[in-house]
Structure 1
Amino acid sequence: MSQTLHVQIGTRPDRSDLKETLASIDDGETVEPEPSRLVVESLETFGRVFRATNLELLEAIAEHEPDSIRELARLVDRHPPEVSENVSELEDYGLVRIDDHGRSKRPRVWYDEIEISGDVPLRNLGDSSDATATP
């Protein structure tokens, strides 16, 4: 069975129905679990977390299930300290789980795919001097 991580760009989802859900659970009713969700509050943060080097790490972890950060670094042909720093960032966002494996740290992902949703505003993105667009 495939597991999907739902990533939303923007504000946190509306939780107004949480009280009803908790009451249903208290009453013994079956409640469907919500999908696993990560909310990234800004496009800038999204770009940093899901940059190409991090996506490469996530793909390598999912495909090869390395036994250590050092093995992961070899898979992506990068230096272990750099990979360790990136994996720590991914762990901070809940995208990677680190399991102790003897003296090594084993990176793991618990999902098979990432679904991304959210609005991207075209105004007020910050300083637009970095890019120029022409109609």
Structure 2
Amino acid sequence: MNDRRMKKSYFNKAILLFGLFRKHRINGDDLATAESKSVYLDEKVDEFRLLISMGKDVFAGRYRMNKWNLSIITATIAYVISPLDAMPDMIPLMGWMDDATIVAYAASKLTDEINKYKAFTQASVPA
């Protein structure tokens, strides 16, 4: 199997797993685990930490978003912290590639919500 087909195959598996994780209920332990695993996401670490912050603020009642967008965040966090991956995390370098891909996918679907959240957080900071 060539490299391009292999990546597409892993991405398709990741999307299927992402769909399963969409209904997962995130708790405080999950958020702490997500924070600790974020360091493995290389250039996607900031995007993932932003999604975690958005989730925390929604769960705390400080920020509101529709259930669909929240389900994307929940599924992304659940996918990253789960040992069930399209590509197991124990595989050096490539093991976190699917997680980073899912984070990028989620961030691309949440562009408008992310912009609203950034405006919200900037407005919430005292001058």
TM-score (normalizing by structure 1): 0.24
TM-score, structure 2 as length reference? 0.25
Q: Flag the structure with higher strand content.
A: 1
